[in-house]
Amino acid sequence: MTPFGLFLEKIRRSRQLQQKRLAAEVGIQASYVSSLEKGRKPPPSKKILEKLIDVLNLDEDEQLNMWECVKQSKRSLELPDGMMPSEYQFISKLSEKLGSLSEEQITLMMGILALNINKNKHLNSGRMNM
């Protein structure tokens, strides 16, 4: 499952809607709702997401949560300009391991990413004076 799939299933159930009814009200197939919830399909288009917001009557917090889940569930990433070669290497290594990481590995990497290290300060401290 994806974060978006988990979100959609949870919110749909909280509204006591079956997949068929939600699909009919949004104008999509029930099999598509099932595929979204199971993570077999990436998040839908913005148009469908906006229909889901209306049909499910999402409040502001639920909408923010939905958009964050959509972001987290994207299957492709756009890499920013100006990445260091070591960042490309890291992304490549990480992509090889995706699907087989342990919760401990993920927790450790998330903790490291949460550190507030000034990139320039870090780079300057690694330079040697001649």
pLDDT digits 0-9 by tens, 54-77: 999 999 999 999 999 999 998 888
If one compares 34 and 76, the residue with the highest pLDDT of the two is 34
- Domain range annotation of the chain: 3-72, 85-125
Which CATH architecture describes the domain 3-72?
Answer: Orthogonal Bundle (1.10)
Rounded to 5 degrees, what angle do the CA atoms 59, 62, 65 make? 150
Checking phi first, is residue 88 left (phi over 0); if not, alpha (psi -120 to 50) or beta? alpha
Confidence of residue 120 (pLDDT cuts 50, 70, 90): low
Terminal Cα-to-Cα distance of the chain (whole angstroms): 54
DSSP conformation class of 102: -
Question: Is the whole model's pTM more than 0.85, yes or no?
Answer: no
Residues 87, 75: Cα–Cα separation, whole Å:
19
Q: Indicate the burial class of 118 (C-beta count within 10 angstroms; 0-12, 13-18, 19 or more).
A: exposed
> Which two tokens mark 127?
């330079």
